């Protein structure tokens, strides 16, 4: 009885190992990470890196929206990439949007956007769009920050 179990275990192990060898030979990069792949940056990461280079311009733009804004905090982790529509079949293109707060106040919010040619491009001309004006939460609702 023990001999049968050993033979079965060895048989299943041999079958599993041969399966791994076959799959590994058909897909040589499946079980390894080459240095080229490890250094590759996704298009979204590249877009975000390019936009971060303009952080000062973004802060200045948000400050220009209200004289009360003294500091700007951009929530880089809330970055969104969206396809936008304009009512036509071809659509309106793509936008990268950033959200944030002003004056270290958690009760404030704003959103700015950047036009992209396609889902993987970086902004050619650095144009900042006000997607949502600066708002503050008070008295149970969101009001313009004035």
Model confidence pTM above 0.75: no
Instruction: Quickly count: other Cβ atoms within 10 Å of residue 105's Cβ.
Output: 13
Judged against a pLDDT cut of 60, whether residue 35 lies above it is answered with no
- DSSP code per residue over 19-88: HHHHHHHHSTTSS---HHHHH---HHHHHHHHHHTTHHHHHHHHHHT-TT---EEEEEEEEEEEEE--SS
Is the CB of residue 68 less than 8 Å from the CB of residue 54? Answer: no
- Tokens 């975000």 correspond to 48
Any idea which of 44-58, 96-110, 112-126 has the lowest mean pLDDT? 112-126
Question: What is the length of the chain?
Answer: 146
Any idea which of 31-35, 48-52, 59-63, 140-144 has the lowest mean pLDDT? 31-35
The pLDDT confidence band at residue 134, using thresholds 50, 70 and 90, is: very high
The residues, any chain, with a CB within 8 Å of residue 41's CB and separated by 6 or more, are 49
Mean of all residue pLDDT scores within the chain: 84
Judged against a pLDDT cut of 80, whether residue 25 lies above it is answered with no
- What token pair was written down for 32? 């390894």
The pLDDT confidence band at residue 39, using thresholds 50, 70 and 90, is: low
Judged against a pLDDT cut of 90, whether residue 23 lies above it is answered with no
């Amino acid at each position: 009885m023990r001999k049968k179990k050993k033979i079965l275990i060895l048989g299943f192990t041999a079958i599993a190992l041969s399966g791994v060898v076959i799959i590994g030979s058909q897909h040589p990069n499946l079980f390894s990470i080459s240095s080229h792949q490890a250094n590759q940056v996704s298009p979204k990461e590249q877009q975000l890196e390019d936009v971060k280079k303009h952080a000062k311009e973004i802060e200045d733009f948000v400050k220009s929206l209200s004289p009360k804004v003294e500091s700007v905090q951009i929530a880089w982790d809330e970055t969104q990439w969206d396809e936008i529509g304009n009512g036509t079949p071809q659509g309106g293109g793509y936008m990268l949007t950033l959200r944030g707060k002003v004056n270290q106040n958690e009760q404030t919010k704003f959103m700015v956007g950047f036009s992209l040619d396609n889902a993987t491009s970086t902004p050619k001309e650095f144009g900042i769009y006000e997607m949502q004006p600066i708002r503050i939460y008070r008295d149970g609702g969101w009001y313009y920050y004035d």
